[in-house]
Amino acid sequence: MMYSGDAMRRLFPLGSYVLLLFFLTGIWVAISPFVMTTQPSGAHWIPSTINNVVVGAILIAVSLLGVVGYMTFALRDILREAREKQLKQELAEQQAAGLAANQ
């Protein structure tokens, strides 16, 4: 059995927090032209706005993919370990039952 704290630590390692930081940075990069009013309202997007939105979107997408990848692999490992434990337990029970039947 695994404590919920351990499971959470395995699901969200240190790398996930760094990726979360990149995610927030990506949001800021994408919205900064509008927040800093370098993009005139109502006009077509200027090159700097297009650049910032594209780079921000890349940062958001990549960091989200990274976090999801971390979680997926950690979840797969946890499930695999649980299955192996269950199989070992069943095998031990079967062996114990066989020994009892022989005696």
Partner 1 sequence: MATSLIILLAGGWLILAPFALGYQPYGADWVSQTTNDFWVGIPVAVVALVSFMLFFVSLIASLRAAGVLLVQPRLQQQTLAPGPAMMQTPSPVVPAAYESQSDLDRTLATLAAALAADLNNRRQAQASSDQQSDQTISNRRDV
Binding site for partner 1 (CB under 8 A): 15, 18-19, 21-22, 25, 28-29, 32-33, 36, 38, 46-48, 51-52, 55, 58-59, 62-63, 65-66, 69
**Closest to partner 1 by CB, 52 or 74:** 52
**Closest to partner 1 by CB, 77 or 90:** 77
Q: 2: which residues sit within 8 A by CB, 6+ positions away?
A: 78
Tell me the closest approach of the beta carbon of residue 23 to partner 1, in angstroms. Answer: 10
Report the 10 Å Cβ neighbour count for 58: 13
Tell me the closest approach of the beta carbon of residue 88 to partner 1, in angstroms. Answer: 24
Tokens for 12? 């969200």
Tell me the closest approach of the beta carbon of residue 3 to partner 1, in angstroms. Answer: 25
- The values of phi and psi at residue 45, to 5°, are -65, 135
Of residues 14, 7, 18, 13, the one with CA closest to residue 59: 18
